[in-house]
A and B are shown apart, each in its own frame.
Chain A
Amino acid sequence: MTSLFTEISPEPEHGVATRRVTITVNGERKAAEIEPRLLLAHLLRQGLGLTGTHTGCDTTNCGACTVLFDGVPLKSCTMLAVQADGHEVTTIEGLATASELSPVQEGFKQEHGLQCGFCTPGMMMTATALLAENPDPTEDEVRWALSGNLCRCTGYQNIVKAVLWAAAKQRGEAVETDDGSVP
């Protein structure tokens, strides 16, 4: 496992003390020797190759790096990876199964809730956490929940619709799925 992280922390050359961490990522236990200063976002991206978690602003503002940390949305660009030792992290790669998208993922496609796609993983992680806590949110509740995630493309209106679509689907209600493309 250590070799995975040589790119980030070639500790032999440095002489920097490393720490061993064990983190459950998308249901799988991962162990690594890492520099204490390594950020969680970088461990996920470079160390584990989970590049769906994006880094946008480096200051916990844009939310592109949002993951679920023990089920709670957390911006991984300002958390040290060592702080995640012993915890559970879910990334965008953990939302879908091999064959099935989560309702939030479906909703974003259905309602055109993304354009460039860069903020999308973080948005969907936050939305997933919201719907786990509040299966029937109002538009205002969705807007408030997403207010830690920035999007420069969509103007949010379709993101809000996407989350409400996902909520309805998750509650088992009928949702519009006609996608206008080839049946």
Chain B
Amino acid sequence: MTAVDEIKIGGMGANRRRVEDDRFIRGRGNYVDDIVLPGMLHMEILRSPLAHARITSIDASKAWEIPGVRLVLTGEMMASRNLAWMPTLSYDTQAVLATDKVRFQGQEVAAVVADDPYIAKDACEAIVVEYEPLPPIVNPTQALAEGAPVIRDDKENQHDNVTFDWEVGDRDGTDRAFAEADVVSKISMHYPRSHPSPIECCGSIADFDRSTSKLTVYMTSQAPHIIRAAVALVAELPEHMIRIVSPDLGGGFGNKVPVYPGYVISILASILLEQPVKWIEDKTGNLISTGFGRDVYLEGELALRQDGRILGVRMHTVSDHGAFFSDAQPSKFKIGLMHSAFACYDIPAAHLTARGVYTNKAPGGVAYRCSFRVTEAMYFQERMVQAAADDLGMDQAEFRRVNLVRDDDFPHRTPFGFLTDSGQYGKCLDIGLAAIDYEGFLKAKEEAKAKGRLLGIGISTMTEPLGAGNSREYDILGIKMFDSAELRVHMTGKAILRTGAKTQGQGHETTWAQIVAHELGIPAEDITVEEGDTDTAPFGMGTYASRSTPVAGAAVAMVSRKIKAKARKLAAHLLEVSEEDVEWELGRFYVRSAPDQGVTIQECAMAAYSNMPDGMEPGLENNAYYDPPNLTWPFACYIVTVEVDPGTGVWDVLDVVAVDDCGVRINPMIVEGQIMGGLTEAYAMASMQFITFDAEGNCIGSNYMDYLLPTAWETPGFQLHEVVTPCPHHPIGAKGIGECATVGGPAAFVNAVMDALKGTGVRNIDMPLLPDRVYGAIQTGQDVSGAPPVKTGS
């Protein structure tokens, strides 16, 4: 006998086809809206049409009269149960149903529960709400202006619209670096609001069972255990009587991390009515009221030496959080991990100041396919880098090469104090440049220019911190950011694995089994993977911030190793040798001196239930809680070429090359799927995802007719390359990958267009690079920077 073939059993490195696909391709997924419970009622939310207004009266009498209406809830009724407000995952509070005033368009004002969703919608329209309009504040300039109305007058001690002021880095050292600089490169820009917009909207079914006092909530949550904790705190229900089930999720992208008022209202409604209550948001509700991302203004400066070295970096950000600071945020870091900027470059000094403000917009700042503001950090970084290279008159690839951290410099302390551990940055850049034929393209660009055609090439190189946390530094509401796995090996060698993560398309049901197969030699197809049910899954912080593989995936490896340690004892018992004389090869223990005498992992499993040695606890199951020693730091180099039509401002993508180093790849097929999805969102943000607010605070882009998402027709093709630098502290050497392309990608597209415009005097156009903006910039030679996307009048 010999070891089993790892690829054949669907272990690490196998392009194992996904097991979850078997239900999805048959239309047998189980999303929240697919669940029907006996006696289930339907809830609809009435939302505010105004961005800022005092509620003077709510008359729901007409709604109550409609046959089939079971309950109408208003803020006043929530307040009488101490549920009008709830804590957010960022130490702020958020209105569940408005009592005093509405603070953004789309805010929840009342809710109706009825026999069917059509009746609930009818009844919402029958509710009469009178408002006294207040001046709307739709950008930080207005929010910080002298005499601006205080949006959060509900909060004691809140006398202005500042959410936080925060600072990190070395102010004095950075000042010295700028004093020594040959050139100071400055740039201002706005990373606009964007909505993650999974195709499936948010929803919940709350089912309070009076006979057991147990509350079961099926909901669209990327982090069901955090929700359970939040419900225990908000609804004051005992935690063991709360079961949160996150079934199949139709995408998440950070949108399904926060606690939304609709969840809370459906829970109260079910408790009051003692019937299951289903709430399914419509698309407009989702787009105007749930977790927006981004909306950060930057003033950035780089201190440069004439030879191209970056001596120091200064950043000042102002972020628009909307009316409630409700995204999940580690408590130590107010502007998330913005200070991960420039982590891939060797820069001696850096300083960041950050201010957050409230405005009359939907809650913002959710980590849209990124780790706590990393997307903004890397976008700003790579736009600043390109502008600096241009200011120095230096080739942008060469400028990066001069400043990138070298392979022998690890572990490396980043400019703002993170510790990176591994990477081959220069190699990734070289592969990318070769793949795009950099020299050839520069030549073609010059030739095209002579004919009046504008070609451009954009590069984005970055490493980002993925896999929060370690528990020393990362928490959500004080809960430390570790994760977990529980593995039960049955007597026939089949197994069930549960983790504290929650897949939303990442393919955990497939890949977690591959890790177990790698560790234990049990074929992946013999392992069931379950997630998302807080009654059965071990406690975990869920899936976002590319943390599944770095944290829960590590826990899967660690629990497998615990199982293997016990199996080794069983093997020694079966082989009648001492444990020290037992060797392991994949799937099998054998006697060191007699390799043909061995037992398989399956035989060990059977022995755990039928033939254990005296004194050994029966069974073969265990769990592992994994607290990572550090974040993982994947590296990426994205290169994009474009052609801009100067006559229309339309730009076409010619080629996209992606070189990703996410360490060891568990399932390369799935990794590539993640990268292509991320690149598409990067292209979307750079080109068309435009959702903003007018001067009255009306959300412009509140449906898919106005909020454009790229289709198969516009989306370019992608050429992918890989470099593998294993993560030194991760049990299987893996690093996060799900968000790299969304984080690093946008700058590559924008840099390419800006490169094409080089010589026109235009240094920056804020995303999305809509043709009218590009055309206008070319015509006027002026930047389109930092201005609110829609003119706000005088």
Listed in ascending order, the chain A residues whose CB lies under 8 Å from chain B are 7-10, 13-14, 35, 37-38, 45-46, 49-59, 61-62, 64, 91-93, 95-96, 101, 105, 108-110, 112, 114-121, 124, 142-144, 146-160, 179-183
Q: Give chain B's interface residue range (CB within 8 Å of chain A).
A: 35 or more
Report chain A residues within 8 Å CB of B197: 152
- What mask results when residues 13 to 40 of chain B are scored 1 for a CB within 8 Å of chain A, else 0? 0111110111111111101011010000
Judging by beta carbons under 8 Å apart, are A10 and B26 in contact?
A: no
Taking a contact as CB atoms closer than 8 A, the residue among A35, A62, A155, A160 that contacts B679 in the complex is A155
B27 and A144 within 8 A (CB): no
- Known A118-B250, A118-B251; judge A182-B524 contact (CB<8 A): yes
B536 in contact (CB, < 8 A): no
B36 contact set on A, CB distance < 8 A: 46, 49
User: Which of B8, B28, B29, B703 is within 8 Å of A183, CB to CB?
Assistant: B8
Given contacts A150-B199, A154-B677, A180-B10, contact A93 B27 (CB under 8 A): yes
Complex Cα spacing A4 to B589, Å = 58
Contact A93 B26 (CB under 8 A): yes
Give the shortest distance, in Å, between A178 (CB) and chain B (any CB). Answer: 9
Instruction: State the Cβ distance, B792 to closest chain A Cβ, in Å.
Output: 27
Tell whether B67 is near chain A: CB-to-CB under 8 Å.
yes
Across the interface, do B506 and A115 meet the contact criterion of CB distance under 8 Å? yes
Across chains A and B, the number of contacting residue pairs, with CB separation under 8 Å, is 210
What's the nearest-Cβ distance from chain A to residue B248, in Å?
Answer: 7
Q: Residue on A with the closest CB to B67?
A: A13
Within the complex, which residue of A9, A101, A152 is in contact with B677, where a contact is CB–CB below 8 Å? A152
B761 interfacial by beta-carbon distance below 8 Å: no
Chain B residue, CB-CB nearest to A37: B118
A110-B17 Cα distance, complex, nearest whole Å: 7
B578 interfacial contact with A, CB 8 Å: no
Mostly, the A contact residues are: loop
- Chain A residues whose C-beta falls within 8 Å of the C-beta of B709 in the assembled complex: 150, 152
Instruction: Find B199's partner among A8, A64, A92, A180 (CB 8 Å cutoff).
Output: A64
- Out of B7, B9, B26, B116, which one reaches A9, CB within 8 Å? B116
A-B contact pairs, 17 of them (CB 8 A): A9-B116, A54-B31, A56-B200, A58-B282, A59-B703, A61-B704, A64-B199, A92-B27, A93-B27, A109-B17, A110-B17, A116-B248, A143-B712, A149-B712, A154-B680, A155-B679, A179-B17
With A and B bound together, what is the CA distance between A3 and B223 in angstroms?
Answer: 38
The answer on a CB contact under 8 Å between B21 and A118 is: no
- Is the Cβ of B251 less than 8 Å from the Cβ of A142? no
Taking A112-B669, A115-B506, A180-B7 as known contacts, 5 extra A-B pairs with beta carbons closer than 8 A to each other, sorted by chain A number, are A59-B283, A112-B17, A117-B248, A119-B199, A181-B10
B776 on interface, CB distance cutoff 8 Å: no
Q: Which of B82-90, B484-492, B713-721 has 4 or more CB atoms under 8 Å from chain A?
A: B713-721
Q: A149-B711, A154-B676 are in contact. Are A117 and B24 (CB under 8 A)?
A: yes
Seen from chain B, the residues whose Cβ lies within 8 Å of a Cβ on chain A are: 7-10, 14-18, 20-29, 31, 33-34, 36, 67-68, 115-116, 118, 197-201, 248-253, 282-284, 504-507, 523-525, 669-670, 672-673, 676-681, 703-705, 709, 711-713, 715, 717-718
Q: Are A121 and B713 in contact (CB under 8 A)?
A: no
The interface residues of chain A lying within 8 Å CB-to-CB of B28 are 52
- Complex Cα distance, B704 from A132, in Å, reads 29
A61 surroundings in chain B (CB, below 8 A): 703-705
Q: How far is the CA of A183 from the CA of B283 in the complex (A)?
A: 43
| Assembled-state Cα–Cα distance A168/B753 (Å) | 38
| Distance (whole angstroms) from the CB of A179 to the closest CB of chain B | 4
The answer to whether B251 touches A116, judged by C-beta atoms less than 8 angstroms apart, is yes
Closest residue of chain B to A108 (Cβ to Cβ) is B25
Q: Are A120 and B711 in contact (CB under 8 A)?
A: no
Choose one: A52, A54, A155; the contact of B680 (CB below 8 Å): A155
Given A112-B669, A181-B10: A143 touches B198 (CB 8 Å cut-off) = no
Cβ contacts under 8 Å, A158 to chain B: 673, 676
Taking a contact as CB atoms under 8 Å apart, the answer to whether B676 and A147 are in contact is no
Instruction: Name the 7 nearest CB pairs between A and B, nearest first.
Output: A52-B27, A118-B250, A117-B24, A116-B505, A115-B505, A92-B27, A61-B704
Q: Tell me which residues across on chain B come within 8 A of A112, comparing CB atoms.
A: 17-18, 669-670, 672-673
C-alpha gap A152/B682 in the complex (Å): 11
Residue of B nearest to A55 (CB): B33
- What are the residues of chain A within 8 A of B198 when measuring CB–CB? 116, 118, 152
A153/B8 in contact, CB under 8 A: no
Tell me which of A46, A124, A144, A151 has the highest count of chain B C-beta atoms within 10 A of its own C-beta.
Answer: A151
CA distance A143 to B713 in the complex (A): 5
Contact A116 B17 (CB under 8 A): no
| Contact A52/B200 with A108-B21, A153-B677, A155-B679 known, Cβ cut-off 8 Å | no
Closest to A92 in B: B27
B17 touches A118 (CB 8 A): no
Residues of B within 8 A of A8 (CB): 116, 118
Specify which chain A residues have a CB less than 8 angstroms from the CB of B118 in the assembled complex. Answer: 8-9, 35, 37-38
- Which chain B positions have C-beta within 8 A of A108? 21, 25
- Please state if B68 and A14 are interface contacts (CB–CB under 8 Å): yes
Asked if A118 and B31 sit within 8 Å, CB to CB, the answer is yes
**Given A10-B68, A116-B250, are A142 and B712 neighbors across the interface (CB < 8 Å)?**
yes
Tell me which residues across on chain A come within 8 A of B523, comparing CB atoms: 182
- Give CA–CA (A180, B715) in the complex, Å: 29
- Give the CA-CA distance A182 to B717 in the complex, in Å: 31
Would B8 and A147 count as touching, CB distance under 8 A?
Answer: no
